[in-house]
Structures are given as C-alpha cells and as structure tokens.
A = this chain, B = another copy of it.
Amino acid sequence: FERLKVRLHQVAHLSSETKDGRRIILRANLDLPEEIPFARDYGAEGIGLFRTEYLYVSRRELPYEELLFETYRRVVEDIAPHPVTIRTLDLGGDKFASVLDLPEEINPALGLRAIRLCLKEDHLFRTQLRAILRASAYGKVKIMFPLISGVAEFLRARNLVEEIKEELAREGLPFDPEVPVGAMIEVPSAVAVADLLAREADFFSIGTNDLIQYTLAIDRGNEEVAELYEPLHPAILRFIKTTVTAGHRAGIPVAMCGEMAGDLLYVPILVGLELDELSMNPQSLPEVKLFIRELEFKKCRELVEKVLNLTCQDEVKEAVSEVFGPHIRKFSRSLWFE
C-alpha cells in the first residue's frame, strides 16, 4: 500500500503529454467536495466535471442558497490553484429529485431535464447560479450547461448568468466577472451547429454518455439494445471531430467528460481527435497519464484519419489494437493491476 502511494505521488507529478510533446490536460469528475483530496492524490489538474445533483436528490427539501454556496466554495478553495468546472443542475431523465415533483414521462431521456428544466423552473436555476457565481470569488470557476441543443437555448442560459451578475453587483457580493461559461455537447443538434455555438461559448465539454445515447437512439440502460450502444461507432467519432474542429476554429478549448474519456482503449483515438482535456473518475487518471506518455500524437492522428471511414465499431477496435494493442496490453499488466 505504501509502495502504491509513493508510486501515485511520482505519477501525479509527471506531465501528461505524448512522446512528441502534445499536452492533454487530465481532470477529475466528482460529485462531492469530500472527494477532492483523493482527486489531488491521483494527479488531477482540476475538476473537469463537478456534478451538482447530490444536494438536490439527497434531501427532502430544495437546498437553499447558503448551503449551495458553502459547498461550492469549499470545492473551489480545496482544488485551488486548479479550476473547477461546475455543471449546472442535470436533473430529470434518469435522475429524479422527489422534491421537484416532476411529471411522469413516456421517454424521460427525451423529456424535461437538465437545462430545459432549469430554464422552465427558473427560480431553481437562479438560486444555483447565485451560489456558483458567489463561489467564483474564491478561486477558478467555470460554469457549464448540460444538454444544450442550440444557440438560442445557450444564450438564454448565458443571459441569465449576466442578469445574476448584475444582481450580485447591486448587492455588493463578490464574484469573478470573467467566469467562463461553456456548453456541454451531448445532443446531436449541438454538434450540427457547433460552429455557431462556438462563437457564443467559452469552452465545450463533450458528454459522451448522452451523446452516444441520442446519436445512436440507444438507451444504454436498456438490456435489449445495450449491445448496440457503441462508443466507437464511426458516427460518434465523426461527431467528436466536428465538435473539436468547430471549437478550435473559434479558439475555444474542447474537453471530454463522459465515461469514454477514462478507458484506455479509447485514449489513442481521443488524443488523435485533438481533445484538449479529458475528465474522468480519479482512479483512472494515473494509468491514462502513463499511457498518454507512451503515445505519439502523430500516430494517433493517423489512426483517427483511418477509423473515421470505417463502417462499424468492430473494425475501429481492430484498427486501434493493430497500432496500439501492445501498449494497451502492457498497461493491463502494469503496476496498477497487480
């Protein structure tokens, strides 16, 4: 155990870049402030996805502003000098908050959830935005909206942030006036208009779980069709590429915070797709970093060129393991698995 700790410490201080110098920022996905020390031990350069549902689903009543503020402030301070990307409330769909008394829906995944719910139940959203903005005075905060489907919706949410800033200014409460505001890219329509969205957003973060679900029209929780849920479907890889290209043309960074980001099999492709940042469960960070340090960016890009024109996930997997199989196998035998 001590040996693991020493090794973790060593790895945490290595830079996450490929052999030929392409840097990929590695961050953690977290739900609770208590997890931060753990994320730091594992070498996270900040939190790429801080989920905010916990305080809404774990209690009998809606959280009040001070409780939210104190929670976010603690996160912001504990992760400093690194940044935290706070995702605004992503309730509905499969995550229910009994306090909200949401209607029953035939297809909840295609229903009133995430940013839609927040823009409709605007008092909820205002309280959360006030707490986030107030916490932004204590470190580096970014605000991220889930389930954005287009420019108009993003601007509605972004304008609300501006309104709250004015409100706080009037009340004399401190906040970061430059807080970046970004869009999660997880609805196919957001990919289709990524070039237009990139002009309005300060960053993108690709949420692969929902993006795959909607793009393939597959509920990943449904056993009957689970085998059709394919992260390496060429359509998914193309949508990621479209998003990255749109972001980079507009000069904004593009992150990925879905489960895909933490899987070794996918890492060479994600590096080749030129993602700037991968955010994942903290436990995956050390092995992903060590793996990235063995890769050549050039080879990853060549691999991507090739796989974008394949016809199914199996062919993509084969192409990946043809080039990177020995590396991936080496890692499955590494320290971390012994």
Contacts and interface: CB of A to CB of B under 8 A. Distances in A.
A152 interface: yes
Interface string A73-96: 000000000000000000000100
Nearest to A218: B110
A214 interface: yes
A68 to B, nearest CB: 25
Interface in A279-338: 309, 311-312, 314
Size class of the A contact interface (CB-based, 8 Å): 35 or more
Contact of A109 (B189, B196, B217, B228): B217
A137 interface: no
A245 to B, nearest CB: 14
Nearest to A192: B235
A103 B224 contact: yes
23 contacts: A94-B106, A103-B224, A106-B108, A107-B107, A107-B219, A107-B221, A109-B110, A111-B219, A111-B225, A149-B228, A149-B233, A150-B233, A150-B234, A150-B235, A152-B312, A152-B314, A188-B214, A188-B235, A189-B235, A191-B235, A192-B234, A193-B234, A214-B217
A106 B216 contact: no
